[in-house]
Structure 1
Amino acid sequence: MSRIFGAFGAPNTAVELNAVAGRQLHGGRDGTSVLRGDTWSLGCNRLAVLDPCGGAQPYRCPRLPGIAVVFDGEIYNHHQLRRRLRARGHVFTGTCDGSVLPALYAEYGTRFAEHLEGMFTIAVIDLRRRPLLVLAADDHGMKTLYYHTGPDGSVRFASELPGLLAFGQVPATERAAALDEYLSVGTYVDDRTALEGIRTLPPGTTALATGRDGLRVQRRTAPLPASDGPADLGDLLYGEMARLTSADVPLCGVVTEGADSHLVNAIATRQLRELDDSPLRGFHVVYRGRWHSSVCAAARRSGTLHHDVLLDPDELVELLPRTVWHLGQPHADPAAPGRYALFRAIRGAGYTVALTAAGAGELFDGHERVQRALTTPPELPWIGPYLDSLASVPRTVRASLYSADYRDYLRFRGTAADRLAETLHAGRADRAAALSAVETGWRLPAHQLRQIDHVSTAWSVEARFPYLQPAVSAFAGSLRARPATGDTPLFTTAQRYLPAGTLRRSARSTDVTADELLRPGSALMDLAQDILRETHLDERWDRTAVSNLISAQSRHPAPDTAAALWAVLVHELWRQELRVLRPATVHLSLPEPVAA
């Protein structure tokens, strides 16, 4: 795994590239390297997971020196690809997964990513004829790549937003509509970010640039799943995880309260015991003074060597700003700082790879909001309640937080919730497909995977996602057309792999909530009062409403009030970090609405 960066169609100085690398160093401390020409550059900060003594990036092809590649992630089918490419005459000197990429590109050109199984963002420079930049992202968006296209057609990219902003030509202009997206739907719509002109490479896409016309993003055709494979979730997971537990560095598991987490860790424990009789160590974050769940007991019954990461809520005064910086843009999930602390503990215990159950809820319709939307009778509204469940701030609260100018802007433009409602309404004939498009195609990569990617690599830990492997996600897709009956396939499978009594059908979430953290008199509440009573609040807020929000939470704490206050606090902490990153160019422009 690595953090990657580069530019195409414009020169970059060594000083500038070193600045980009420096902002991403935490994601790969095992070596930094940069390759550059007159109008292009490729660089990476490497975290050595496979072939630690080899595998240096950028990768080159001995037969075709005009090809150079950097990549972030893991290629799980690299052994099969290496055998195929050797049969075609290619020579490899190491066993690192990424070493197959230049040869694979040489054989298949811009369609090379169609042959990959894994999690990745990849950048290829092809100088054999007309210089060409090729970028590719995995099918689920497990790894993130931010990019900016300049007015001259040049492209600059990096794995993290602070890294991208180290390029002097990339502006740090806040996008006007982003605030409403952040509060209304919990993340940013499509491939957009909080900043104007900066986008993320969408899942399942390959993008091309020649240095003149910017970046042309193309969606790849999803590969068809093999028809002769096992049609059982347990068998599929067991086969896929045999690849995911392969690493030349220590591996552990992330433990949560769900059946999805316990199933992954139980299978991993079995596989590790078959290899060397060593247990899987599982890590779970617990807030000091909070109720204790049954997670520890369930994890131990599944065979995991359990470890609780005890976190003091007062530590969030230090952790929250750091988490905001690493996420690169506002993210209103109160559990994010805890996950940041979790991966800190994982790295501190000597582990470099962590298995997670992320994506299981989206793929197997395990979230309560999806089940409610699917089971709502046709004569009753389901789109509005579903959108309310996605919001960072309740609809009744967020409009009151906006300034008069911003409300006027949204009145002309339309809110993010309104636009998403129109999309869902257009797909109402197939409610399950419409919800899946939102949950797996957009919210999963933008809201969950991006958060895990950034808070894990903040501590040089590689998070892996068994449920997002091709065979498992294809199996989940085949179930969507079937009506829900009784327990989900995931819960039923977990019962087979875990001792009786390990799982509960109704488990209380162990994620901490905003009202638990923003308690009157707490250190975090003091921070909120200090930050949000300063004079440089975002002009899109109604200052009186924000002040009233602080007073209300101080006098009469309530979940909705705390959620709104948390979201505002995170946004303003992010704006402070942005001013430090780019003090000369941070500004906000509200464009005039354009008539249709």
Structure 2
Amino acid sequence: MCGITGWVSYDRDLRTETATLDAMTRTMACRGPDDSGTWIGGAAALGHRRLAIIDLPGGRQPMTAETPEGTVALVYSGETYNFTELRRELTALGHRFTTDSDTEVVLRAYLEWGDGLAERLNGMYAFAVWDGRRDTLVMIRDRMGIKPFYYHPTSDGVLFGSEPKAILANPLAPARVRLDGLRELLALVKTPGHAVWDGMREVEPGTVVTVDRQGVHRRVYWRLETRPHTDDRDTTIATVRALLEDIVRRQLVADVPRCTLLSGGLDSSAMTALAARQLAVHGEKVRSFAVDFVGQADHFVADELRATPDAPFVHDVARACATDHQDIVLDAQALADLDVRAKVIRARDLPMGLGDMDTSLYLLFQAIREQSTVALSGESADEVFGGYQQFFDEEARRADTFPWLVRYGRDWGEDADVLRPDLTETLDLKAYVADGYRTAVADIARLEGESDFEYRMRQICHLHLTRFVRVLLDRKDRTSMAVGLEVRVPFCDHRLVEYVYNTPWALKSFDGREKSLLREAAADLIPKSVYDRVKSPYPSTQDPKYALALQEHAKDLLARPSHPVFDLVDRERLRRAAHRDTPQITQASRHGLERALDLALWLDLYTPELSLT
């Protein structure tokens, strides 16, 4: 894992720009607290911050290889889980290695196969290669978009970085957000390639971006494709189990302490149980961590989303798998702390806003980092196997829009809207979402003979795997790396994603429940309580003290009438939410308060130039 950044300029001598490169690299310090390095050669300048995971002394970067035609230099972030096999193959081809790191394997693979190495990698990665033989920059991102990667074309080259903050540290990249950027920020959709910041782009998942003197070029090396599924139910379940066992085995490889994130749901429980079984062979115990809230048992009230609290199920799994378990228990004061909220916004560069679910995730990762450096997560299983309520909601199935927006529209409604009405009219998010939806479904291929219902469910699965999941993956990566914790996501292995995506919905839900294939594949691993449990999303505190703290922060903001947030937020709507009686503070009105506070902090931290016309 790590943070990468760089600058290619064909018209200037970057050796005179070391101060700017250092500033860009420093922004990635949280992603790489263990080491720092820079390299400048020719038209390229590369920066790297390292979080050491494999071959602690041997994986320093930028890493270079000298060839008769010129230097090839690499900055790499992520993990390549099949690096052992690739190393053997490259050794047989005559390559010689001086380290045990997967970074050197990626560098040697580039020397052997060029950007064709992308198709050979299994992992989560974002890396850039400066090829001095051709004066070309090659940027490659993993298939599912697990690792973030951004670039900003300039008049004579490009800036790039793991996160926008690295690019914004260069004077050539103004911190400007135009209307389309605000639309992307507020619409709760993820448009591939869109980076919100003006002039900036995202290296899209499964894509190679090449920069040379002629400009910027893109090559898609992987996309989610429609294929026939011919396996019967038993074979499908067995294949899912075999894939998961192989994936978890690969993702447990590390030279630092590991753990699992355990919520007591099907996804994290299956993953934790597999890890526990595999490590037990070597006489090791799995460490597991869960988030909980002070008084959650007292305050918990079942609702449409969450029928049960997590803690009892977490403890069932911890006992069954004999994990070394710890609950990270957070109070309302910590969750509402503006300093913590600011750190989350700084981590994500944007006020994406999932409220206490963001701050609790940050605090959970911060606590875990004191004991572990790598964590395995159950993230993305809902998208892969069909776990969300909208997969089973008839209104969402029929809607001519992104399915998750149907539920959010019902759950949040007007109480969550604190934006100025004139801004809402100018943004016209309804049209923006409609355009994005039409683009998203246009390229989803249909199998010959596939029924209308099966094709609709294929569309819903595809939308979750190419749009919705990327919001959550970015959240998970940016929040964890802000404290120097590497979070791995076994359910995003592209082999599993491809296989399960192409299983018919009738097979994905053969028992009428969510995630039927995963439940049966893990049936012998998990407690019966978890096997029978209905899907429950990441927890949110129900402590009324949290809502009261939000109101107090909103009142403080209202006392600063000249704050630029009121160019975006309607003062009267915020005032009503801030003075509402506690029993009337719904999740929706809480979300409105959180959005206003997030926007205000973002404007304080980044002072972006907003173009609202």
Q: 1:570 aligns with which of 598, 601, 605?
A: 598
Distance in 2 (alpha carbons) for counterparts of 1:422 and 1:90 = 48
- Secondary structure at the residue paired with 1:577? helix
Does 2:46 correspond to 1:42?
yes
| Corresponding residue for residue 517 of structure 2 | 489
| Corresponding residue for residue 286 of structure 1 | 292
Does 2:387 correspond to 1:359?
no
Mapping of 1:287-306 within 5 angstroms?
287-291=293-297, 293-294=311-312, 295-306=314-325
Structure 1 residue 343: Cα displacement? 1.1
Q: 1:140 aligns with which of 144, 149, 162?
A: 144
Does 2:164 correspond to 1:161?
yes
Distance in 2 (alpha carbons) for counterparts of 1:440 and 1:514 = 30
- Secondary structure at the residue paired with 2:295? coil
Distance 1:374-1:112 versus aligned 2 partners, 3 A rule: farther
Q: Which shows bigger deviation, 509-518 or 71-80?
A: 509-518
Q: Is the 8 A contact 2:399 2:406 kept in 1?
A: no
Distance in 2 (alpha carbons) for counterparts of 1:26 and 1:211 = 33
Q: Is the 8 A contact 1:301 1:498 kept in 2?
A: yes
| Corresponding residue for residue 563 of structure 2 | 536
| Corresponding residue for residue 427 of structure 2 | 410
Does 2:476 correspond to 1:455?
no
Q: Is the 8 A contact 2:38 2:62 kept in 1?
A: yes
Distance 1:269-1:387 versus aligned 2 partners, 3 A rule: same
| Corresponding residue for residue 58 of structure 1 | 62
Distance 1:392-1:451 versus aligned 2 partners, 3 A rule: farther
Mapping of 1:73-92 within 5 angstroms?
73-92=78-97
| Corresponding residue for residue 199 of structure 2 | 197
| Corresponding residue for residue 438 of structure 1 | 463
Distance in 2 (alpha carbons) for counterparts of 1:327 and 1:553 = 32
| Corresponding residue for residue 594 of structure 1 | none
| Corresponding residue for residue 24 of structure 2 | 20
Q: 1:172 aligns with which of 171, 175, 189?
A: 175
| Corresponding residue for residue 302 of structure 2 | none
Q: 2:273 aligns with which of 257, 262, 266?
A: 266
Q: Is the 8 A contact 1:183 1:567 kept in 2?
A: no
Distance in 2 (alpha carbons) for counterparts of 1:166 and 1:46 = 19
Q: Is the 8 A contact 2:333 2:546 kept in 1?
A: no
Distance in 1 (alpha carbons) for counterparts of 2:48 and 2:535 = 42
Question: Residue type of the partner of 2:406?
Answer: D
Q: Is the 8 A contact 1:208 1:217 kept in 2?
A: yes
Does 2:3 correspond to 1:29?
no
Distance in 2 (alpha carbons) for counterparts of 1:436 and 1:381 = 14
Distance in 2 (alpha carbons) for counterparts of 1:167 and 1:443 = 31
Q: Is the 8 A contact 2:441 2:463 kept in 1?
A: no
Q: Which shows bigger deviation, 172-181 or 330-339?
A: 172-181
Structure 1 residue ranges without an equivalent (≥5): 580-585, 592-596
Question: Residue type of the partner of 2:89?
Answer: R
Question: Residue type of the partner of 1:219?
Answer: V
Mapping of 1:64-143 within 5 angstroms?
65-129=70-134, 131-143=135-147
Percent identity reads 27
Distance 1:532-1:261 versus aligned 2 partners, 3 A rule: farther
| Corresponding residue for residue 466 of structure 1 | 490
Structure 2 residue ranges without an equivalent (≥5): 298-308, 447-451
Q: 1:478 aligns with which of 493, 496, 502?
A: 502
Distance 1:544-1:393 versus aligned 2 partners, 3 A rule: farther
Residues 305-324 of structure 1 show CA distances to partners (whole Å, capped at 9, x for unaligned) of 21001112201313211111
Q: Is the 8 A contact 2:24 2:47 kept in 1?
A: no
Structure 1 residue 540: Cα displacement? 3.0
Q: Which shows bigger deviation, 363-372 or 545-554?
A: 545-554
Question: Residue type of the partner of 2:522?
Answer: A
Question: Residue type of the partner of 1:240?
Answer: I
Mapping of 1:200-349 within 5 angstroms?
200-213=202-215, 215-222=216-223, 231-275=238-282, 277-291=283-297, 293-294=311-312, 295-316=314-335, 317=337, 318-334=339-355, 335-349=357-371
Question: Residue type of the partner of 1:552?
Answer: R
Structure 1 residue 16: Cα displacement? 1.1
Residues 490-530 of structure 1 show CA distances to partners (whole Å, capped at 9, x for unaligned) of 1122222124444333254451158856423x3x4322322
Q: Is the 8 A contact 2:477 2:487 kept in 1?
A: yes
Question: Residue type of the partner of 2:563?
Answer: H
Report how many aligned residue pairs link the two structures. 571
Q: Is the 8 A contact 1:70 1:122 kept in 2?
A: yes
Question: Residue type of the partner of 1:218?
Answer: R
Structure 1 residue 394: Cα displacement? 3.6
Question: Residue type of the partner of 1:469?
Answer: D
Distance in 2 (alpha carbons) for counterparts of 1:555 and 1:296 = 32
Does 2:20 correspond to 1:7?
no
| Corresponding residue for residue 303 of structure 2 | none
Distance in 2 (alpha carbons) for counterparts of 1:227 and 1:244 = 29
Distance in 2 (alpha carbons) for counterparts of 1:553 and 1:537 = 27
Distance 1:106-1:402 versus aligned 2 partners, 3 A rule: same
Distance in 2 (alpha carbons) for counterparts of 1:558 and 1:375 = 23
Q: 2:405 aligns with which of 374, 381, 387?
A: 387
Q: Which shows bigger deviation, 541-550 or 260-269?
A: 541-550
| Corresponding residue for residue 306 of structure 2 | none
Structure 1 residue 383: Cα displacement? 4.0
Q: Which shows bigger deviation, 277-286 or 34-43?
A: 34-43
Distance in 1 (alpha carbons) for counterparts of 2:249 and 2:267 = 17
Q: Is the 8 A contact 1:153 1:212 kept in 2?
A: no
Structure 1 residue 247: Cα displacement? 0.7
Q: Please, what is the CA RMSD of the aligned residues? A: 2.8
Distance in 2 (alpha carbons) for counterparts of 1:449 and 1:490 = 20
